[in-house]
């Protein structure tokens, strides 16, 4: 029998060195959640901005290791726990046409992002990151996709791209929450069609809920289910990205380590979807896990913000903004076209 006394020494030193940085990330996340609740805005965006104001903590001192742990390991745990939001019953209840719409819109939006990124002079991976964030579930998708992408030769390039994507997708999602219900009304869409449009186009889950239920209960129900189906697309997209970069490793220099075929947090995500679909998770535990997932993602975003340097964004320019706005408009046009073709 394994004694706790033999396990604790191995964990004591990492826990001691990580604690200050994790504590600071939690403090920033708490402030961000409070501001988000008060102003009805994105907690991720507040966490990022507040974290960037605390950037000095990540350069030296006792918090450095804990901030890195929060930005990596806690991020992956938070993404894995997103699986408790989804069941197979929610997906099949939509019917074949909405499922086909979501699958096609996610694939085409990411493809459009890659193509436009190339035309604008960026690497494919930036198009995958921004396109995936727009097509799937906003800031959460951006962080999950970034977690499986290999680091750039310059250490801060991937982090800069992730931070920009989170800022952009959170801002666009907030704008969409206000503007898209106006578009829905102007197009004369019914409750179900309005829900399909809002759930199929707005980036973040919170903004989908706000826009949908702001119109009607029926619209909110449909919008939420369609949005959760988009969240479910996170699993196959991450698997495809992982396999793609694994193939590049194989073609690359000998001696480089291969990424796992299925990252551990993706496997946990899939397992939780399956368990949740079976009804084995009580409602109270399910709600607790969803809350924990939200908190872990906000804490990790605080840490990512702490690792950011404002001077790195001074040279961003117009092209990345054009990329994300174009992806957002492209997705909206796709969903509108589907709705009118399905009438």
pLDDT in tens, 209-232: 778 877 887 888 788 788 878 888
pLDDT at 313: 55
Task: For residues 318 and 179, give the distance between their C-alpha atoms in angstroms, rounded to a whole number.
Answer: 22
Q: What is the pLDDT of residues 1-60, one digit of tens each?
A: 445 455 445 556 677 788 889 999 999 999 999 998 888 777 877 887 898 888 888 777
Q: What is the pLDDT of residues 189-213, one digit of tens each?
A: 888 899 999 999 998 876 787 788 7
DSSP 41: -
Task: Give the DSSP letter string of 98-166.
Answer: HHHHHHHHHHHHHHHHHHHHHHTT--HHHHHHHHHHHHTTTHHHHHHHHHHSPPPSSTTHHHHHHHHHH
Task: For residues 170 and 325, give the distance between their C-alpha atoms in angstroms, rounded to a whole number.
Answer: 12
pLDDT at 54: 86
CB of 124 within 8 A of CB of 189? Answer: no
**In the chain, % of residues over pLDDT 90:** 25
Q: What is the pLDDT of residues 295-310, one digit of tens each?
A: 998 898 888 788 766 6
- Is residue 183 scored above 70 in pLDDT? yes
Task: Determine which of 75-79, 214-218, 244-248, 339-343 has the lowest per-residue pLDDT on average.
Answer: 244-248
pLDDT at 180: 93
Instruction: Tell which wins on pLDDT, 291 or 85.
Output: 291
| Banded pLDDT at 255 (limits 50, 70, 90) | very low
Report how far apart, in Å, the C-alpha atoms of 294 and of each of 43, 49, 196 are.
9, 17, 24
Q: Rounded to the nearest 5°, which phi and psi values hold at 123?
A: -70, 155
- Is residue 259 scored above 70 in pLDDT? no
**In the chain, % of residues over pLDDT 70:** 85
Task: For residues 78 and 106, give the distance between their C-alpha atoms in angstroms, rounded to a whole number.
Answer: 22
pLDDT at 1: 46
> Mean per-residue pLDDT for 141-157?
73
């Amino acid at each position: 029998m394994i004694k706790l006394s033999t396990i604790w020494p191995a964990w004591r030193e990492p826990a001691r060195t990580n604690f200050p940085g994790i504590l600071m990330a939690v403090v920033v996340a708490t402030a961000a959640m409070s501001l988000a609740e008060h102003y009805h805005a994105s907690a991720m965006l507040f966490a990022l901005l507040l974290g960037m104001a605390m950037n000095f903590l990540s350069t030296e001192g006792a918090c450095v290791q804990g901030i890195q742990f929060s930005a990596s390991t806690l991020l992956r745990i938070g993404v894995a726990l997103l699986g408790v939001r989804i069941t197979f019953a929610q997906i099949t209840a939509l019917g074949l046409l909405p499922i086909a719409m979501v699958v096609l819109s996610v694939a085409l939006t990411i493809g459009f992002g890659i193509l436009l990124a190339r035309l604008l002079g960026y690497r494919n991976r930036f198009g995958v990151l921004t396109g995936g964030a727009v097509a799937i579930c906003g800031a959460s998708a951006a962080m999950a996709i970034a977690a499986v992408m290999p680091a750039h030769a310059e250490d801060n390039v991937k982090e800069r791209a992730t931070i920009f994507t989170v800022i952009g997708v959170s801002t666009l999602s907030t704008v969409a929450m206000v503007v898209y219900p106006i578009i829905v009304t102007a197009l004369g869409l019914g409750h179900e069609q309005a829900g399909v449009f809002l759930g199929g186009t707005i980036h973040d889950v919170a903004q989908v809920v706000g826009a949908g239920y702001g119109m009607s209960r029926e619209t909110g129900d449909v919008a939420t289910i369609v949005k959760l189906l988009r969240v479910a697309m996170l699993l196959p997209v991450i698997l495809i990205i992982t396999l793609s970069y694994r193939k590049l490793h194989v073609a690359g220099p000998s001696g480089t380590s291969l990424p796992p075929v299925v990252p551990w947090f993706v496997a946990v995500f899939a397992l939780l979807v399956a368990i949740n679909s079976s009804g084995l998770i009580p409602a109270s535990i399910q709600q607790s896990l969803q809350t924990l997932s939200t908190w872990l993602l906000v804490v990790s975003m605080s840490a990512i913000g702490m690792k950011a340097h404002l001077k790195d964004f001074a040279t961003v320019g117009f092209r990345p903004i054009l990329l994300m706005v174009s992806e957002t408009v492209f997705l909206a046009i796709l969903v509108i076209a589907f709705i009118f073709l399905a009438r």
